[in-house]
Amino acid sequence: MTCRTGSQPDPHRADEEETPNATFAALLEGSAEELYESAPCGYLSTLMDGTIAKINGTLLDWIGLEPESVVGRMRFTDLLTAGGRLYHETHFAPLLRMQGEVRGIALDIRQAGGGRLPVLVTSVVKHGSTGEPLLIRTTVFDARDRRAYEEELLRARRAAEEARRRAEADRARLQDALAVLQQSLLPTTLPPVPGVEAAVHYRAASHDQLGGDFYDLFPVDGKRFAFFLGDVCGKGPQAAALTSLTRYTLRTAALHDPDPVATLRTLNTALHERYTGNDPRYCTVVFGLLEPDPASGEVAVHLAAGGHPPALVLRADGRTDFLPTPGGLIVGVLPAARFVTATTTLGPGDTLLLYTDGLTEARTGEDRTGLYGDEALRAFLAGHAGEPPHTVMEALTGLLDGFGDGLDDDTALLALGVPAHPAAGHGHDRNG
């Protein structure tokens, strides 16, 4: 349908007597009253106390009542369902009082036949010349279709919220399961080693994935303790299975023959045999023995490494150096791998640090493109040489915190040190 304004002549009627204005006037005769009574929406005027003063035919049709039973006899709230009345009194009326208008509130109107009509109500307060409120003008729109649509939206929203709740619960359960599994791959506590203080830190890069780093410390005979720290390839359940195999193989092998190279060879054979064909899996690891000398308070360290970043030794006098193990092969790839050994002795105040490459390969810099690197780690630790292992570990966790989202990989740290003053040592300290 086209709408024309009164000033534009209608070409088809140009030769007729009636002008367009007259045509409209004829069509619209008596329009004010007619429009009010038969408007496509309900009209209602009430006194400030809600008493209905005027109501149009449309609204009377909807509620199924005669004007004489409504005007002066009913209040607006009488037209509403009880729940709508409560909503009106607790929300609508206060808002109207305070703002002078309320728009588009969804209410239900009671119909004479017992039915109810969903409507959208807008009310405006008409004020007198001195600003005093005189009456309330209200329009009422049939909102059946709209309400049905909104209810559909609400249903969909509730379904989505329920789905989200379930998904979050599932995720929480998964994280719990992963955390338990992760813990099972790491020792819950480290045994006391005479004359040695140990500190560890493990940081998983993601709560949704099992990490692939591992460490352990355990006695092998009356005098010696074995330790290891490593990193399996990959993440997730497959990596966890590999970690489990690695950890228990190392522990068992060490009890049979604690020699570091022999132990790593056993691990290499086990992994190579298990992960053959198109699913080669491997790990890098440092395995070593601690042999405390009760007489001197020193601890002899004898270790072997396969493909793993070199350990660092922090001396009481401030020297901080790598304990290089060049040429050691990653474990599990070749049927017969070569491993490289190194030895050192830790005196009072000295600490040996093992770490995984999650630390040295943390992305740094503004744009997170640089890597932290071995030399930066050595320099950082040089500032903490002479400190006891737990203090060194605190410094390192602070360093990790500082990397923020630059930490992509899991990180395991194991520090083994000889207390500067033997009396301060942990465990069954024969010197103490």
Partner 1 sequence: MDIERRNNVTVTGNPLGPTVVLAHGFGCDQNMWRLTVPALVEDHRVVLFDYVGSGRSDLSAFTEARYATLDGYARDVVEVCEALDLRDAVFVGHSVSAMIGVLAADLAPERIGALVMVAPSPRYIDDDDGYRGGFSKEDIDELLVSLDSNYLGWSAAMAPVIMGNADRPELGEELTNSFCATDPDMARVFAHATFTSDSRDDLKRVQVPTLVLECTQDAIAPREVGAFVHAAIPGSALVTLDATGHCPHLSAPEATNEAITGFLAGLR
Radius of gyration, CA atoms only, the chain: 41
Using the minimum distance from each CB to partner 1, give the nearer residue, 145 or 367: 145
Structure tokens at 380: 């950082």
For the CB of residue 106, give the shortest distance to partner 1 in the complex, in Å. 4
Smallest gap from Cβ 405 to partner 1, in A, equals: 23
Task: Tell how far CA 178 is from the center of its chain.
Answer: 16
Q: Choose between 37 and 78: whose C-beta lies nearer to partner 1.
A: 78
Q: Between residues 13 and 97, which has the closer beta carbon with respect to partner 1?
A: 97
C-beta of 35 vs 86, nearer to partner 1: 86
Q: Provide the token pair at 418.
A: 């000889």
226 and 289 Cβ atoms separated by less than 8 Å: yes
* Shortest CB 87 distance to partner 1, Å: 4
Treating both helix axes as pointing N-terminal to C-terminal, what angle do 236-256 and 144-184 enclose, rounded to 10 degrees?
Answer: 10
Least distance to partner 1 from the beta carbon of 207, Å?
Answer: 23
CB of 94 to partner 1, least distance (A): 5
Give one word for 139, left, alpha or beta, with left for phi > 0 and alpha for psi -120 to 50. beta
Nearer to partner 1, 84 or 389 (CB): 84
Least Å from the CB of residue 42 to partner 1: 18
Query: Pick from 92, 99, 100, 91: which is nearest to 136 by CA?
Result: 100
- Compare residues 153 and 167 and give the one whose CB is closer to partner 1: 153
How many other C-beta atoms can be found within 10 angstroms of the C-beta atom of residue 48?
A: 14
In whole angstroms, give the CA distance from residue 48 to residue 213: 75
Rounded least distance, CB 156 to partner 1, Å? 12
CA distances from 287 to 282, 298, 306, 347, 395 (A): 15, 19, 9, 20, 24
Q: Do residues 370 and 360 touch, judged by C-beta distance below 8 A? A: no
**Nearer Cβ to partner 1, position 105 or 371?**
105
Which residues sit at the interface with partner 1, rule CB under 8 A? 48-50, 75, 77, 81-91, 93-95, 97-99, 102, 104-108, 118, 147, 150, 153-154
